[in-house]
A = this chain, B = another copy of it.
Amino acid sequence: MSKVVVQNFSVSLDGFATGEGLSFEAPFGHAGMRLHEWMIATKYGSSIVGAETGSLGVDHAFAARHDVGVGAEIMGRGKFTPETGPWEGLGTDEEWRGWWGENPPFHTPVFVLTHHPRPSLEMEGDTVFHFVDASPEEAVALAREAAGDLDIRIGGGPTMVREFLAAGLVDLLHVVIVPIVLGRGVRLWDGLEGLEQGYAVEVVASPSGVVHLTFER
């Protein structure tokens, strides 16, 4: 059966997966890009912005798994937009269509969890954003139907990843510990005491300074 996976999920030493003060200008708040620099430095990361540079070592090996064998993503609305409440287009002239331009790096159905459903958005490159008001279990059922035999990515942010972990829905959790103390923001690990007991855990340190942590069951 297909697996439910969390990939390339960066946290600081103090467990924050995003900073404080998220906005249109600062998608990760005061954290800036610091939690994601390791990925941007890989060939996979650079390819997202159309470049062809970057490392091909362990960071790339993990990062590039993003595109392999995944048939659907579930994301929190907070990953799609910093706007909350009813959809108002985020002060732009046009309807907000996500951070990623017309060809987002998903290339599958993406289920955006929101209490304010709206019509689906078809993008280039086979990404379709569906906006659904669903529990974690319901969302996985929807995504599984869309993904067929392929895996389902739990895309973040931290609050929804934590909910899916707490509900016991995640088969593979790949966390990247970035050696910075962020101080504030949204934590990943809260409320997950004893999480490791259901998983085999592997750790590998990258020469880049980050640590890849794999929880597998």
Interface residues of A (CB under 8 A from B): 13-15, 177, 179-184, 187, 189-196, 201-205, 209-211, 213
Could you tell me if A193 and B177 are in contact, using CB atoms closer than 8 angstroms? no
CB contacts (< 8 Å) of A205 on chain B: these are 203-205, 211
CA of A214 to CA of B123, assembled, Å: 45
Chain copies in complex: 2
CB contacts (< 8 Å) of A183 on chain B: these are 191-194
CB contacts (< 8 Å) of A213 on chain B: these are 13, 179
Going nearest first, the 4 A-B pairs with the smallest beta carbon separation are A183-B193, A14-B189, A205-B205, A181-B195
CB contacts (< 8 Å) of A202 on chain B: these are 209
CB distance from A20 to the nearest CB of B (A): 10
Contact with A14, one of B179, B182, B190, B209 (Cβ below 8 angstroms): B190
CB distance from A17 to the nearest CB of B (A): 12
Main secondary structure of the interface of A (DSSP, over half): loop
CA of A182 to CA of B195, assembled, Å: 9
CA of A28 to CA of B196, assembled, Å: 19
Could you tell me if A179 and B201 are in contact, using CB atoms closer than 8 angstroms? yes
CA of A157 to CA of B161, assembled, Å: 31
CA of A182 to CA of B191, assembled, Å: 10
CB distance from A29 to the nearest CB of B (A): 13
CA of A181 to CA of B182, assembled, Å: 19
CB contacts (< 8 Å) of A194 on chain B: these are 180-181, 183
CA of A164 to CA of B184, assembled, Å: 20
- 25 A-B Cβ contacts within 8 A? A13-B177, A13-B189, A13-B196, A14-B15, A15-B15, A177-B177, A177-B211, A180-B194, A180-B196, A181-B189, A181-B192, A181-B193, A181-B194, A181-B196, A183-B192, A183-B193, A183-B194, A184-B193, A203-B209, A203-B210, A203-B211, A204-B205, A205-B205, A205-B211, A211-B211
CB contacts (< 8 Å) of A190 on chain B: these are 14
**A179, A194, A205 interface centre (most CB from chain B within 10 Å):** A179
CB distance from A205 to the nearest CB of B (A): 4
CB contacts (< 8 Å) of A211 on chain B: these are 177, 203, 205, 211
